[in-house]
Chains A and B, each alone.
Chain A
């Protein structure tokens, strides 16, 4: 069965520092992969997505993610974190190509120190 693992439940970084959030997936074929951000009490906003092609994907708010098939990973990165980036981040994979049914990881809560 497909699954998504986000190994880090909480991460704290200083403002201006670089960020990497880890995501590992289990899926047989080429997956459809997503990163979402959820601010407290809010819904989910799509940061970026990967379907095929270039394995380095650019998203909104200065985020990027790299698909590595050999490592079954899709890690999210940002070179310089802003205080407003503090939120919960979810990695997700479509259950079967592009079915519309997403499987989410447990989420990583990002705290930003001034």
Chain B
């Protein structure tokens, strides 16, 4: 059973471009969580999704950020018109049921905004 997969592992964008980060959960997992890790900080919760539904987006910035988890395919975190402050590592985690006790993290995508 492959683990949680994220791609790309590294992404470089210029200010104003769009960034798309993908997360493929573990097989059988229908719950996905996105976290952001700014330099020198711990991870901060962004959004929790189930298939085709956003359950909790209380940690998402109000503008430019969106997330989806379609019926088929990976979960996508989209950042429009990126700014330097968006440079961070973005991690996703997945679980088969809601909850932290069965959550597994992916390797992360490191976004650099020039």
Contacts and interface: CB of A to CB of B under 8 A. Distances in A.
A43 B106 contact: yes
Contacts of B107: 42-43
A31 B40 CA distance: 25
Interface in B32-69: 33, 35, 40-45, 48, 56, 59
B42 A32 contact: no
Nearest to B56: A101
B33 A100 contact: yes
Interface residues of A, number: 26
Interface residues of B, number: 26
A98 B99 contact: yes
Interface string A95-114: 10011111111110000000
Contacts of B108: 42-43
Interface string B83-114: 00000000100010011110111111010000
B99 A43 contact: no
B91 A44 contact: yes
Contacts of A25: none
A106 B44 CA distance: 10
